[in-house]
Amino acid sequence: MASRRDQITMSADEVDAFLHERRVMNVATLSPSGHPHLVAMWYGFLDGAPAFWTFAKSQKIVNLRRDPRITCLVEAGDTYSELRGVELVGSGAVIEDHDVILAVGSSVAERYNGPEAVSDAARPFLEAQARKRLVVRVDVDKVVSWDHRKLGGGY
């Protein structure tokens, strides 16, 4: 008999579809004390990898420059039988290329705020933000997933 873990694990296609839903990604980096620094981020994708933009002086960037390890969690569900999630474990690559920053920022803006967020009128705002930000691409080494809906209400 298959284990519960095997029953609830998402396939690669299910993980991809779940990550492409508009959700919040909880991002954990390691603080100087070694404690997790955990923040919620809007995210997009860079060459297929999850990515987000953040202020260049943010604690996340400081932490990743010292230690690139990162763990991210995207989750959904209000009851136990509905819980779904994907944990991404890997490295955070800090990217300083302005064109990439603007592209990821634009993609995040459109993903969460709609097409008007990348209109000609919004472009000066995005460009101003891009000058203060960097991109973090999540280079995933390990994926852990679960979808309790697959249990059909049985535990």
What is the structure's pLDDT at 145?
Answer: 97
Start-to-end CA span in the chain (Å): 14
- Tokens describing residue 14: 């299910």
According to the model, what pLDDT value does residue 134 have?
A: 98
- For the chain, the structural domain boundaries read 4-147
Q: Sheet of 133-147: strands edge to edge?
A: 36-41, 25-30, 69-76, 84-95, 133-147, 49-55, 44-46
Residue from 28, 132, 135, 18 nearest 76 by CA: 18
By DSSP bridging, strand 36-41 and strand 133-147 are unpaired
What was the pLDDT predicted at 154? 64
Per run of 10 residues, the mean pLDDT along the chain (length 155 residues) is 79 97 97 96 96 97 98 96 96 97 96 95 95 98 95 73
CATH number of 4-147: 2.30.110.10
Half-sphere exposure of 33 (CA within 13 A, CB side): 3
Please state, as a whole number, how many other Cβ atoms lie within 10 Å of the Cβ of residue 46.
20
- How far is the C-alpha of 70 from the C-alpha of 82, rounded, in Å? 26
